[in-house]
Amino acid sequence: MLENQKILITGASSQVGLPVARELAKSNEVHGLGRFGNAEQRTQLEEMGVRCIALDLAKDSFEACPDDFDLVLNFAVVKTGDWDYDLAANAEGVGRLMSHCRNARAFLHCSSGAVYAEESNDARVEESPYGDNHKVMLPTYSICKIAAETMARFGARQWNLPTTIARLSVPYGDNGGWPFYHLLMMQNGVEIPVYPGDRNLYNPIHEDDIIAQLPKLFEVAAVPATVVNWGGSEAVRLEDWCAFLGTLTGLTPKFRTTEETLRGLALDPTRMHELVGKTEVGWRDGLRRMLEARAPDLIAD
């Protein structure tokens, strides 16, 4: 694992960033950058040993932020639906961050499978076409993610900053995630929307695997930027993980077929396996652990 490094994490209070910050702070000097509108989140990070920096990537000066980091992890994402602000925070913010941290040894930009076009039913490889597949739920998300990747590519070349762009699938774990929201919907009898046909494949990745693969993701950072899919080695149908949660809790998922939801987005993990290895936490074991951590009272006897 990473040790004795000075690390900057943006989005440190997020679902993905929080467990990463907690783990890295055990043996590194970790700084967390964010807006920190929620004082409790800042306090939680500080109690973990994270040094918090209140800064809006869209507009604030970097004067209060050191510039001598060894490694930078960009997990920040803004989804307000305001095009000007979201592009400024997500895309321009990447450029401003890379410029400020240009002397870092490596930069990891967390992108998303949301950058891929939705027309194909095949597992996406890193060269698959771009598209706006999240527009039905998050109108600015996919476009901002594509713009942010473009800025990260530019930044790597402009400042000779070794960079990895990792396109994350469905993160989950003790800190929650999309499957946990589905569990809450099941608990409250809410129908879970699914796209028509057998098209609801994703690559859920447990937070333990996200943390375990960070050293390799930094190791393969390069100029031009390295681009790699980042998800569980096994693709899983949304319906199947909901059904498995049902077996653990006795709850029955109710599905509603509609085109007004995300279309399945499986990632091809071949390049990930070559560069950083396979994931270790099986999705069934990971979901069971998530349930034990977040809602043990729901586990059936």
Q: Can you spell out the DSSP letters for 47-82?
A: HHT-EEEE--TTT--STTS-S--SEEEE------S-
Structure tokens of 157? 């070349």
pLDDT digits (tens, 9 = 90+) for 246-292: 999 999 999 999 999 999 999 999 999 999 999 999 999 999 999 99
Label residue 108 left, alpha or beta by phi (over 0 means left) and psi (-120 to 50 means alpha). beta
Helix axes 178-187, 283-294, angle to 10 degrees: 60
pLDDT band at 131 (very low <50, low <70, confident <90, very high): very high
Which percentage of the chain shows pLDDT scores above 90? 96
Residue range 51-59: average pLDDT?
Answer: 96
pLDDT band at 1 (very low <50, low <70, confident <90, very high): confident
pLDDT at 125 over 90: yes
Domains of the chain: 6-171+204-230 (3.40.50.720), 177-201+235-298 (3.90.25.10)
The amino acid present at 169, given as its one-letter code, is S
Residue keyed to tokens 């290895």: 277
CA dist., res. 284 & res. 301, Å (int): 18
Average pLDDT of the residues of the chain: 96
pLDDT at 301 over 80: no
Strands 106-112 vs 163-168: parallel, antiparallel or unpaired: parallel
- The predicted structure's pLDDT at residue 61: 95
pLDDT at 129 over 90: yes
Q: Are 127 and 243 in contact (CB under 8 A)?
A: no
pLDDT band at 121 (very low <50, low <70, confident <90, very high): confident
Which percentage of the chain shows pLDDT scores above 70? 100
Structure tokens of 116? 């891929």
CA dist., res. 134 & res. 263, Å (int): 8
Residue range 200-204: average pLDDT?
Answer: 96
The amino acid present at 290, given as its one-letter code, is M
pLDDT band at 197 (very low <50, low <70, confident <90, very high): confident
pLDDT digits (tens, 9 = 90+) for 214-224: 999 999 999 99
- The predicted structure's pLDDT at residue 231: 98
CA distances from 202 to 57, 169, 210, 227, 230 (A): 30, 7, 16, 19, 11
